[in-house]
Structure 1
Amino acid sequence: MNKLNAQHFYIAGAFRNVPLVQQIAGQLNDAGATQTFDWTQAQPNADLATLKGIAQLEQRGITSCDFLVFVFPGGKGANIEFGIATALQKPIFIFDTTDTVNNIAETTTFYQMDHVQKYRGTVGGFVNFIANNMLL
């Protein structure tokens, strides 16, 4: 596997996919990358003040990452994180769990942009896909 030494990543996803998000993060860490913020440790039913603090940490995590991973489909927050990364012109790697990102009836124009790479397959294959594309 190609190494992602000194690369920083952020993962956007939904609470319903926390085990998958954590599996991807673990393999990226094993490949030498560093996660900028792990939102999976946050409580989804926190109070508003806590949510504000988490949002600030998430935004900082996105602004300081070298690339964003988007576990698709994501929730409301994941799509906002995707938007922040797009505005910052960060490379984005989509792990398509439903095989709909390339389905014209299901997708969005933003998933087709040049800085977005899409993948459908295994987690290990996805990590290799990221490593190969980040080394270009």
Structure 2
Amino acid sequence: MKFYIASSFQNVETVNALSSKLVENGFQQTYDWTQNEKSVGIEELKEIAIKEKEAVMECELFILLLPGGKGSHTELGIALGSGVKSIYIFAPHSENKKDSLATTFYHLPEVQIFCGSMGEFVDKILKILDNKKR
């Protein structure tokens, strides 16, 4: 199954750790934006935007790792608009669930929200997706 993880640059280590766990379990990452430089020119931003949009539209599993910025929420909108079936919002160890999950679109029926550890999150995804295969 192809996946994409949206988040902010402040979460690069967590994104990479989560990506590694998914790849270890047979998943394929559509695009690794963590390899990009944070400060780039307009043409580079355009190229990155095209790649990220295509990667989100190609994925079967979309994960928004909170906290996220404008770009990651734009990617959530692309995932919702292009009909991605498995959309998860992961708020690791969210101290204030109410504030961190206050965005309207987080509560659409096709979006699943998870607060907790990365290990618990990966286990939950694997279990849910395994049940969908049956």
Structure 2: how far apart are the matches of 1:39 and 1:74? 14
Counterpart residue type for residue 129 of structure 1: K
Q: Which ranges of 4 or more aligned residues in structure 1 deviate by more than 6 Å?
A: none
Q: Cα gap change, 1:132/1:78 in structure 2, threshold over 3 Å: closer, same or farther?
A: same
Decide which of 107, 110, 117 is 1:112's aligned counterpart: 107
**For 2:2 and 2:94, how far apart are their aligned partners in 1?**
27
The aligned residue for residue 74 of structure 2 is 80
- Cα RMSD, aligned residues only: 1.7
TM-score normalized with structure 1 length: 0.88
Deviations 1:37-68 (A, max 9, x none): 00000011011100110111101101110010
In the superposition, relative to structure 1, how do residues 13 and 101 fare at CA in structure 2: closer, same or farther (>3 Å)?
A: farther
Equivalent residue letter for 1:125:
E
Q: Unpaired segments of 5 or more residues in structure 2?
A: none
The answer for the alignment partner of 1:94 in structure 2 is: 89
Between Structure 1 and Structure 2, how many residues are aligned? Answer: 130
Identity %: 35
> 2:43 is aligned with what amino acid?
A
**Residue 15 of structure 1 is aligned with which of 9, 14, 17?**
9
TM-score (norm 2): 0.90
